[in-house]
Amino acid sequence: MDSGFKSNRPQLRRGLCYSNEGRKQAGSPSVIVIGGGIAGVAAARALHDASFQVVLLESRDRLGGRVHTDFSFGFPVDLGASWLHGVCKENPLAPLIGRLGLPLYRTSGDNSVLYDHDLESYALFDMDGNQVPQELVTKVGEAFENILKETDKVRLENNEDMSILRAFSIVFERRPDLRLEGLPHKVLQWYLCRMEGWFAADSETISLKCWDQEELLPGGHGLMVRGYLPVINTLAKGLDIHLNHRVTKIARRYNGVKVTVEDGSTFIADAAVVAVPLGVLKSKTITFEPELPDWKEKAIKDLGVGIENKIVLNFDHVFWPNVEFLGVVAETSYGCSYFLNLHKAIGHPVLVYMPAGKLARDIEKMSDEAAANFAFTQLKKILPDASAPIQYLVSRWGSDVNSLGSYSYDTVGKSHDLYERLRIPIDNLFFAGEATSISYPGSVHGAFSTGLMAAEGCRMRVLERYGELDIFQPVMGEEATVSVPLLISRM
């Protein structure tokens, strides 16, 4: 049996973190971090600062993962995460963002209806290009909230879980007065479309029992005006990072971990932090030796991963209303559209079309050009005189082998504690990433926190074995607690 550990038994080798090229460093405990998204980079930073030898292996040719700031338009545009959800000092990322002086453009306050945006910043249109009166948008928003309240009663009455869609139909059977027809019905579908966007999944797959179990931080939602990348770059400074290193195998023994990369090279350390996306774990492209326990495998299988994408259209001038969001209402949530007006936040004439769930999956089957045309066609429905974009960008988070999905969500009939199961370490293998965050799944700050948690768990575990816990710093040092006010524009 292939093992990188035999010759060192029974003692753990100190400070070895080397590849088959023979690189060796001695002196302190060692960790391999797998995955260079925010969770992996945060874990690597924390362990590096706690005097561990850290090697970070990343399959792509860039860091950041689902944080991906693109500069090809000549200014930063985020193709993955772009909002800080919870613009407040309690947000685990606030100290870092504050210290870097990164500006935020807040798109909603604390009281945002439907989680992410203010109603007054929307302009909704029907398929004929007629703007939906704002009073109607507000009224249907209230009706949507009432329907959600009624679904809560359905939840309390039923032991069995069901989908949000099923709960809606029960509510409509009981309360025909909440049923809407014509244009109000289409606006309601648009609200449902936004809810589906939050989970990156269709309402027939979202769990009624768990859909609202995540914690929402106060302070509303702020767009990272200069993109999220500076956060990643700051955390990654000075780390030993190996890009284009796709991990294919993780072997663990009682005294260490051996990680194999696609090209056959291997890395050995005392412990590893696995910070790859849930979609990648589901695909089983990484072999674990010995196999992961059944409860862990089941958590990987049962937790949902949805798809949300961005089709970014860059125009030569602004020809749309001066609101933060443009929407097209339709008979079904699948037919509705949603555009973020980046001009408000960054001053460039850019609209971002954001499909989710089945629609996002269907659009991923198209070429980039066809996808951009599709988004532009939706825009033409509401603004027939729209001029064609001069540039576009298309994300493919569902089919990209490095992500295989956009973020995790609770599927019908599965327990919310799956996130915690995914996080729980196995021996010297620690797990991080958005899907391991029980409080803030699907977010950058959630993923960041899990990176710190995994690092602390790893530090404790490795150092306990040496009885030297006190000589290394805890992973959350003094710096992280320094509070600098966030730079927020609007509200």
Asked if residue 442 binds ligand FAD (CB under 6 A), the reply is yes
Among 82, 163, 337, 378, the residue binding ligand FAD under the rule CB under 6 A is 82
Q: How far is the CB of 95 from ligand FAD (least distance, A)?
A: 16
Please tell me the number of Cα atoms within 13 Å of 306 on its side-chain side: 29
Among 443, 456, 463, 472, the residue binding ligand FAD under the rule CB under 6 A is 443
Asked if residue 226 binds ligand FAD (CB under 6 A), the reply is no
Quickly list DSSP for 22-63: -----SS-EEEEE--BHHHHHHHHHHHHTT-EEEEE-SSSSS
DSSP state of 310: -
Among 257, 268, 276, 454, the residue binding ligand FAD under the rule CB under 6 A is 276
Quickly list DSSP for 231-291: HHHHHHTT-EEETT--EEEEEEETTEEEEEETTS-EEEESEEEE---HHHHHHT-SEEESP
Asked if residue 402 binds ligand FAD (CB under 6 A), the reply is yes
SS3 assignment, position 194: helix
- Cβ distance 61 to 36 under 8 Å? no
DSSP state of 386: P
The smaller minimum CB distance to ligand FAD, of residues 45 and 85, is found at 85
Among 275, 438, 462, 486, the residue binding ligand FAD under the rule CB under 6 A is 275
And the tokens for 209?
């029992």
Asked if residue 447 binds ligand FAD (CB under 6 A), the reply is yes
The smaller minimum CB distance to ligand FAD, of residues 28 and 314, is found at 314
- Residues 6+ positions from 311 with CB-CB distance below 8 Å: 352, 353, 354, 355, 363, 371, 372, 374, 375, 392, 393, 394, 395
The smaller minimum CB distance to ligand FAD, of residues 152 and 262, is found at 262
And the tokens for 437?
């965050």
Asked if residue 65 binds ligand FAD (CB under 6 A), the reply is yes
Q: How many residues bind ligand FAD (CB under 6 A)?
A: 41
Stretch that binds ligand FAD, among 59-67, 140-148, 162-170, 479-487 (CB under 6 A): 59-67
Asked if residue 486 binds ligand FAD (CB under 6 A), the reply is no
Q: Find out whether 55 is annotated in a ligand binding site.
A: no
Binding residues for FAD: 247
Positions in the binding site for ligand FAD (CB under 6 A): 34-40, 57-60, 65-67, 80-83, 85, 246-247, 275-277, 280, 286, 308-310, 395, 397, 402-403, 406-407, 433-434, 442-444, 447
